[in-house]
Amino acid sequence: MKSEHRKKILSAVACAVCVFLYYAIFGVIIISVGFSELEPWVMFVGALIPLVVGGLLLSVTASRIDEIKGGQEDDLSKY
């Protein structure tokens, strides 16, 4: 694997990890605050949304890594 590919994969993974941690922390805050102040269904929805976004983020990151490995490093050139 080229060093250029490795840098692009590393940057995609680093961005995904940062955003995933943001949503994970947000979900934990919703759950911790929810035990004392929110109704159970609000707490469930508030925790479910960050989990869904995190799962979608992992899926998009995996497809981006496949694109980079397949030689499609610059997606913007298609448009």
DSSP code, position 38: S
- Label residue 68 exposed, middle or buried (CB < 10 Å: 0-12, 13-18, 19+): buried
Does the pLDDT at position 4 exceed 70?
Answer: yes
Distance of alpha carbon 38 from alpha carbon 59, whole angstroms = 31
When pLDDT is cut at 50, 70 and 90, the band that residue 78 belongs to is low
Q: pTM of the entire structure?
A: 0.69
